[in-house]
Copies of this chain bind each other. A is one copy, B any other.
Amino acid sequence: MEMIGSTDRLSLNQITTERWTLQEAVEGCARAGIGWIAPWRNRVAEAGLARSRQLIQDAGLRVSSLCRGGMFPAATASEREARIEDNRRAIEEAAELGAEVLVLVCGPSGTKDIAEARKQVQEGIERLVPYAREHGVKLGIEPLHPMYAAERSVISTLSQANTLAEQFDRQDVGVVVDVFHVWWDPQLYPEIERAGERILGFHVSDWIVPTPDMLLGRGMMGDGVIEIRKIRHAVEAAGYRGPIEVEIFNRQIWDQPGDDVIALMKNRYLEHV
């Protein structure tokens, strides 16, 4: 199999080493020669924002994205307003950490009315765009697998994410392509082409069979059925040349020592991405 040949674009999404604090993850990346990290907000809060920035900077790492904003729909206007406020904090944090992109996991519906929830997502993004622009942060809409439609995101396909992103200036809003969420989609390749320069991130993992768990069942690249390299080529043909995050929710992987996970991730990245 053709090798990507370099880990220059490889980024550790912090959830892949779920037990590590931000400091541990930063140090783990530095030890392994990985140049990018995607921190999670809860771990940033734990370390403190200014200290997080310092840790990342001192290790010479760059931030591929901040995980995550979104979660726009809610049953009441005041709840939705609180979500907007929280997203403003996320934008500030992304700016402080030097993340070009805030990943948006758009959220489940607050009621049975999924069409209404989708409107609330659009309204939420409209509200955030000026603030994000002021802070030099782009919003990356990440469609989540349809099996998360009830609990995590009413944005379920790349087509839907593209349509939403196209409501806004391409400098402000784009999409994030995560192979785990989109690999099954019969419209995947035309929609990657359509996304073009709006692609703000590319995430990899694998779909393992049988799938051990809906949330914690993602696999290491090469352990499943996703044509990861084919999707990478399509994303690159569309114009994306940015970092490639490895984002794995998997209890078995989380239970392994972080350094082992990172070593395996590097090998699998070279072989399968």
Contact = CB atoms under 8 A, between A and B. Distances in A.
A32 interface: no
B214 A118 contact: no
B156 A185 contact: yes
A212 B178 CA distance: 24
Given A225-B112, A227-B114, A214 B147 contact: yes
Given A113-B227, A150-B225, A227-B112, A186 B209 contact: no
Contacts of A234: none
A151 B184 CA distance: 11
Interface string A198-222: 0000000001011100100000000
A65 interface: no
Contacts of A113: 227
A209 B146 contact: no
Interface string A139-170: 00000011101110010110110000000000
B225 A185 contact: no
Interface string A107-119: 0010011100010
A184 B113 CA distance: 11
A227 B227 CA distance: 34
A67 B164 CA distance: 38
A184 B214 contact: no
Contacts of A227: 112-114
A106 to B, nearest CB: 12
A145 B184 CA distance: 10
Interface in A74-132: 109, 112-114, 118
